[in-house]
Amino acid sequence: MRRFYESITAKIYLETRKILCNTSYMCIFAFDYILLVIKYLINEMDSIDKSILEMLYINARESFAQIGKEVGLSAPAIGKRVRQMEDDGFITGYTIKVNHEKLGIETKAYITLVIHQGPTGTHHAQSELRKMKEVQSCDRITGDDCLCILGYFKNNKHLIQFLEKIAKYGATRTSIILEA
């Protein structure tokens, strides 16, 4: 459906632009902006795109040929759809899964933090915490706490050292992850 609208939009665009070429450049600019908005509004994923996305979410290294077998398309068609989803912002990057135990990570914990200084202190603390190697994520949250940190540590002693280091930002509450 999206491709149908794109072809219609392209035809309308070319015809209207021919007319506007004889008018001001401001009209052409406004028309180009309106076209971008229209393309954004009709930019929906069909069921095949959703299936491709689900397969890539499970295994980002899955071959286009294998994905194509599953959804009934050729590898080049899958590649084109993936590139389009990247261009449209549905896919923003690729990642790997790591065995943290093999890397010496024995302790994982969620740490909530109540910041002592108002909203500017929260922003500063979040920015500084995200730079720390132990911090996997640091999110602003609602409620009594200000930040929720996911941290990976070599052991409990390393966790304690980390908590002492971040105590300058505020009061912490820690929950060690027993099983993920």
Over residues 93-145, the pLDDT tens digits come to 988 888 999 999 999 999 999 988 766 688 899 999 999 999 999 999 998 88
Instruction: Give the Cβ contact number of residue 113 at 10 Å.
Output: 25
Cα(23)–Cα(114) distance, integer angstroms: 59
Cα(67)–Cα(132) distance, integer angstroms: 38
Q: Map residue 20 onto helix, strand or coil.
A: helix
Residue 170 confidence (pLDDT): 92
Is the pLDDT assigned to residue 26 strictly greater than 60?
no
Residue 13 confidence (pLDDT): 52
Q: Which CATH number fits domain 2-87: 1.10.260.40, 1.10.10.10, 3.40.50.300, 2.60.40.10?
A: 1.10.10.10
């202190």: which residue's tokens? 121
Residue 44 confidence (pLDDT): 65
Positive or negative: CA dihedral 4, 1, 5, 3: negative
Q: Which residues pair with 114 in a beta bridge?
A: 171
Selection from 74, 78, 34 nearest residue 55 by Cα: 78
Residue extents of the structural domains in the chain? 2-87, 101-176
Helix segments in 131-179, DSSP class H: 156-166
Instruction: Give the Cβ contact number of residue 60 at 10 Å.
Output: 13
* pLDDT band at residue 167 under the 50/70/90 scheme: very high
Contact (CB, 8 A) for 16 and 42: no
Residue 157 confidence (pLDDT): 97
Class of domain 101-176: alpha beta
Residue 87 confidence (pLDDT): 93
End-to-end CA distance of the chain: 40
Query: Same topology for domains 2-87 and 101-176, yes or no?
Result: no
- CA dist list (Å): 168 to 111, 134, 137, 165, 171: 14, 17, 19, 7, 8
């929720």: which residue's tokens? 148
